[in-house]
């Protein structure tokens, strides 16, 4: 029986899907540090995490049974992807399932800060009645600057336009502008015109510190700043100074350089205590609807990989899906060197295994081939294939 370890309070639907396939599922709340994770992964075939559990190369070295990791979130920078691939561990995530939730909280933050709702709310709770229009604006007619025009950025662009905002965006990759959005050639060009600046970049190491003190200073006076992407991309000390001076009118932050691993752990951050700042505990994508969709999507990807060898939308190994023929199937993950497929087929031919269907895909220095045979695949065939110098992981699926 395969065994799965699910951490960080994943949606119950993930457990239900895996258990329906006869997988023994162990659930634990909160994230684990490196040593805890190594201990917990003994005998585990499948790991499910969110953003706070780091799967390092050292963890992978101590988890020889691990076959697949499900990141029940968008980002995968918490996982050593290449080392996982070279150890035969497939990684799947949920790149689309919580997009709408992040977009909606961004819209809510923009409206709340533009209307100064955080300040009014704080004063009212202190018994201060301060009815004034000073500093409060409609978002209609204002310019939204989106840095990172991917799945979230593009959907935010469309909704913001529907609310009457003008949209400009910057992305390092060439992206098609939706609606009336305009592409800016540089971040600096975007900052010169944006009344609201929002970050939606990914967690690649090159993005560390990408929004610097110089960028904060370049923002328009009285503008608003949002970060719902990654905690390490912003100079928060510079942002605090700009908020205190009034150069930046307000900010909303959902991601932080250091985040508590478990619910209830203490939290300390540069922008705490400022009335014009909205702080949320990395809940941009955490709606019940989004978590259910993520649970279903990632658990289904894990199930399909284990049952059929399908790697569609895997983020670290070649993507392929061979239509099930009802035959006997081998899934062979290997080093991408010349002649591997010929050697595999030679072994099969030497053992009188007739190939009914076969599909090969490569990704960098990793290759993956799925083969359907017309007769049962004997143990000596599997042993011969496993002995090939190119083998990373071999699975007999049926």
Residues 6+ apart with CB under 8 A from 47: 4, 5, 6, 7, 41, 55, 63, 66, 68, 69, 70
Positive or negative CA dihedral for 323, 327, 332, 338?
negative
Catalytic positions are 230, 259, 282
Alpha-carbon distance 8 to 1, whole Å? 23
In this structure, are residues 293 and 13 in contact, taking their beta carbons and an 8 Å threshold?
no
Cα radius of gyration rounded to whole Å, the chain: 25
Can you tell me the distance from the alpha carbon of 4 to that of 26, in angstroms, rounded to the nearest whole number?
6
């Amino acid at each position: 029986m395969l065994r799965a370890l699910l951490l960080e309070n994943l949606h119950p639907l993930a457990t239900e899907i895996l258990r329906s396939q006869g997988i023994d599922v162990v659930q634990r709340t909160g994230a684990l540090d490196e040593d805890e994770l190594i201990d917990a992964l003994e005998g585990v075939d499948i790991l499910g995490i969110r953003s706070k559990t780091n799967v390092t190369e050292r963890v992978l070295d101590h988890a020889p049974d691990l076959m697949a990791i499900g990141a029940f979130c968008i980002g995968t920078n918490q996982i050593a992807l290449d080392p996982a691939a070279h150890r035969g561990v497939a990684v799947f995530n949920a790149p689309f399932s919580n997009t709408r939730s992040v977009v909606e909280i961004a819209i809510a933050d923009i409206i709340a800060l533009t209307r100064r709702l955080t300040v009014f709310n704080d004063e009212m709770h202190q018994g201060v009645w301060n009815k004034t229009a000073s500093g409060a604006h409609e978002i209609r007619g204002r310019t939204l600057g989106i840095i990172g025009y991917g799945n979230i950025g593009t959907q935010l662009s469309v909704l913001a336009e529907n609310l009457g905002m003008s949209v400009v965006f910057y992305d390092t990759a060439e992206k098609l502008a939706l609606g009336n959005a305009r592409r800016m050639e540089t971040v600096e060009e975007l900052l010169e015109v944006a009344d609201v600046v929002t970050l939606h970049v990914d967690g690649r190491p090159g993005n560390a510190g990408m929004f610097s003190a110089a960028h904060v200073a370049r923002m328009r006076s009285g503008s608003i700043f949002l970060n719902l992407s990654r905690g390490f991309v912003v100079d928060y000390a510079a942002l605090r100074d700009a908020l205190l001076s009034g150069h930046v009118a307000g900010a909303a932050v959902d991601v932080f350089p250091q985040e508590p691993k478990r619910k209830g752990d203490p939290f300390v951050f540069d922008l705490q205590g400022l009335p014009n700042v909205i702080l949320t505990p990395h809940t941009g994508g955490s709606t019940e609807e989004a978590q259910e969709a993520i649970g279903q999507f990632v658990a289904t990807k894990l199930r399909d990989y284990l049952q059929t060898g399908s790697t569609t939308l895997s983020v670290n190994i070649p993507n392929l899906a061979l239509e099930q023929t009802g035959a006997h199937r081998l899934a062979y993950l290997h080093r991408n060197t010349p002649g591997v497929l010929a050697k595999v087929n030679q072994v099969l031919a030497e053992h009188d295994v007739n190939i009914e269907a076969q599909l090969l895909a490569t990704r960098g220095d990793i290759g993956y081939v799925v083969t359907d045979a017309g007769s049962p695949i004997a143990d000596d065939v599997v042993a011969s294939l496993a002995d090939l110098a190119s083998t990373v992981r071999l699975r007999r699926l049926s």
